[in-house]
């Protein structure tokens, strides 16, 4: 009698496949997305950012920080001149432009990686694109300034549409969901429709579920756990930005934002395993390592 020592075959769940895309940029450039996740470095040039470990308010300091992020492995730099943390006060377009334009212009001159402008204002987007930015990252999903999509379309730029509700002062009051992902998908579809109606080609759109924006901690964890559902709903690249956000506070025993990089590493790994194409982070060098290892795990699951 021969004993069969082979283990039975069991179909364990594996990580969802990541679709491939080409994201067109101005000047006949493009970004190829899908082979591996790209790291987006966060460069806030505001006096009230919730999670910075150094001061980026001077142009020289901000440019130096951006160059160091590029050296550390950032694939894109995301420059923002207005804080979007909960409770942050709004600033005028003039103030925002004074903060970001010199930084965008100098970084675009010195780097070959794409520069994104993090703004909800059409005029800020227009001038930043003229200064060398290639992507607009709108955390309002076109709900604050309908003219922004037209600016993107005319410039031939790409556009990140993020899910949120309300403004920074009121977003948590609107964090009520009967069907978390169903409602996020429905509201993002409205943003996509507005962009396309304004002339932005579908191939230029990126979807961001808005971790921490109008979402309680349970909502943010739920979004991270259900990224494949978002990918299936849109067939567009996904950007995920969990870096140092407050949804991790309780799990990390109340640590302040600047001490949440270990928690961020776990969230980044989850985003990569869930199929994200772009990961937006503060600590670029450290998170590049996390992304690479998490991606290696994904590849061995297929």
Is residue 191 classed as helix, strand or coil in its secondary structure? helix
Q: Domain for residue 52, yes or no? A: yes
- Residue 3 maps to a domain: no
pLDDT of residue 12: 60
Catalytic positions, written as ranges: 245, 280
Q: In the prediction, which pLDDT does 14 show? A: 80
Tokens at residue 91, please?
Answer: 């600033």
* Residues constituting the chain: 302
Following CA atoms 120, 97, 279, 173 in sequence, which dihedral angle do they give, to the nearest 10 degrees? -40
- Angle (CA) 52 58 62, round 5°: 55
Band the pLDDT of 100: cuts 50, 70, 90.
very high
Domain-embedded: residue 24: no
The CATH number covering residue 243 comes to 3.20.20.20
Q: Is the pLDDT of residue 105 over 70?
A: yes
User: 74: Cβ–Cβ under 8 A, 6 or more apart, which residues?
Assistant: 39, 40, 41, 113, 284, 288
pLDDT tops 70 at residue 211:
yes
| Pairing relationship of beta strands 115-118 and 239-240 according to DSSP bridges | unpaired
> Quick check: is 11 in a domain?
no
Helix (H/G/I), strand (E/B), else coil: 42: strand
Instruction: Specify whether the CB–CB gap between 124 and 155 falls below 8 A.
Output: no
Residue 128 in any domain: the answer is yes
Structure tokens given for 234? 């849109």
- DSSP-derived pairing of the beta strands 29-33 and 21-25: antiparallel
Q: Residue 199 — very low, low, confident or very high, per pLDDT cuts 50/70/90? A: very high
Q: Evaluate whether residue 13 is within a structural domain.
A: no
Residue 60 belongs to domain spanning = 37-299
- Write out pLDDT tens, residues 49-79: 655 556 667 899 999 999 999 999 999 999 9
Give me the chain's average pLDDT, please. Answer: 92
Q: What is the dihedral of CA 135, 112, 79, 266, to 10 degrees?
A: 90
Residue 12 lies in a domain: no
On whether residue 294 sits in a domain, the answer given is: yes
Domain count for the chain, please give it: 1
């Amino acid at each position: 009698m021969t004993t069969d020592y082979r283990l039975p075959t069991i179909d364990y769940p594996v990580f969802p496949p990541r679709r491939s895309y080409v994201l067109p940029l101005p000047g006949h450039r493009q970004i190829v997305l899908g082979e591996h996740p790209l790291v987006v470095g966060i460069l806030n040039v505001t006096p009230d950012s919730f999670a910075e470990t150094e001061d980026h308010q001077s142009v020289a300091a901000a440019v130096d920080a951006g160059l160091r992020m590029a050296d550390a492995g950032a694939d894109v730099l995301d420059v923002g001149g207005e804080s979007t943390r909960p409770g942050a006060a709004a600033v005028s377009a003039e103030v925002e432009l004074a903060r970001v334009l010199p930084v965008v212009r100098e970084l675009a001159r010195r780097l070959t990686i794409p520069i994104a402008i993090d703004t909800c204002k059409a005029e800020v987007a227009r001038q930043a694109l003229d200064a060398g930015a290639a992507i607009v990252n709108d955390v309002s999903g076109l709900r604050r300034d309908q003219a922004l999509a037209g600016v993107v379309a005319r410039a031939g730029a790409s556009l990140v549409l993020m899910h949120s509700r309300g403004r920074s002062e009121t977003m948590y009051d609107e964090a009520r969901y009967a069907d978390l992902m169903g409602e996020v998908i429905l509201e993002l579809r409205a943003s996509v429709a507005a962009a396309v109606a304004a002339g932005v080609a579908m191939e230029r759109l990126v979807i961001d579920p808005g971790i921490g924006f109008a979402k309680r901690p349970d909502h943010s964890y739920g979004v991270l756990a259900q990224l494949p559902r978002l990918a299936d709903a849109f067939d567009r690249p996904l950007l995920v930005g969990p870096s140092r956000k407050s949804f991790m506070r309780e799990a990390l025993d109340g640590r302040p934002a600047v001490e949440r990089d270990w928690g961020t590493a776990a969230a980044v790994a989850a985003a990569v395993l869930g199929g994200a194409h772009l990961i937006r982070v503060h600590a670029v060098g450290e998170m590049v390592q996390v992304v690479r290892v998490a991606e290696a795990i994904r590849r061995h699951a297929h």
